[in-house]
Amino acid sequence: MTDHGSHTTSTSYCYRHPGRATRLSCSECGRPICVECSRDAAVGQKCPECATPVGRNRVIDARTIRHVDRATTPVTWALIAVNVAIFLIGRLDSETGREIFVNAAQYKPLIDNGEIWRVFTAMFLHANFTHVLFNMWALFLFGPALERRFGSASFGALYLAAGLGGGSLYHAVGRLDPAVGASGAIFGLMGALLAATYRQRHTPAGSAVFSQLMLLLLINLSLPFLIPNIAWEAHLGGLVAGASIAAAWDKMPRGRAGASAQRVIIAAAVSVVAIGAVLVL
């Protein structure tokens, strides 16, 4: 990676590999580390020494792990709960379900008439059981990793911006079919994970994760060619929005005061651009 600012800032070198220039540093001790030495932590990245558990190991049962996961990733679980609840409400009462769809689905003619909220509300509606199951399973897989990596507020802002980015591109293309689903936001999470793991792709673990994500992404991007009525525009818009946000976040120093607020501002800016595009187009 080319560092365009190297002529104005001093270059740091990994403390374990003195010949490797790096822009990363341990969020705990502050020592410079290269990508190979970086270890993902709950907050930022740590060097191998700081990432080593202190004291004796202890056994934690599965119930404790599930409780900790829910406590550290509340936005992911809240999003799953809201999506599933709205789907079940619509299924248990067909008239209510029809009203929800009529008033909240993304539909270009009505959005052009001022019902801008539909770009947002459509993210929480699903056409059938398979639709909601696939999206919520993907959210369950990708959401916790990103929420633990960047924090709940940043993750929530990312999810919203990716969903709006997907809805924005769908609207811009001009398709007149009503659209529903969290797929734009889900593809945004996939794009964010790709961007977040890109610099670790040269390590064995990073390469495995990056390759798996790329394969999964290619499979999902090919689905519109195999299955009708899939809004590929929303998928692509969400993917680009999520990857762009995470790439911008990756350039920010981790562990610095105010980093969470800055990440939220970046994601909010993408949301504003997406809404602005809908208003203009």
Integer angstrom CA distances of residue 219 from 38, 64, 202, 215: 30, 35, 23, 6
| The one catalytic residue among 38, 235, 244, 271 | 235
DSSP state, 15? S
DSSP state, 122? G
Nearest CA to 38 out of 225, 206, 268 is that of: 206
Burial class (CB in 10 A: 0-12, 13-18, 19+), 242: buried
DSSP state, 40? E
Active site residue 271: no
| The one catalytic residue among 183, 207, 260, 271 | 183
Q: Residues 154, 184: contact at Cβ < 8 Å?
A: no
Paired sense of beta strands 24-25 and 21-22, if any: unpaired
Active site residue 10: no
**DSSP calls for 47-103:** -HHHHSPPS------HHHHHHHHHHH-HHHHHHHHHHHHHHHHHHH-HHHHHHHHHH
Please list the active-site residues.
183, 235
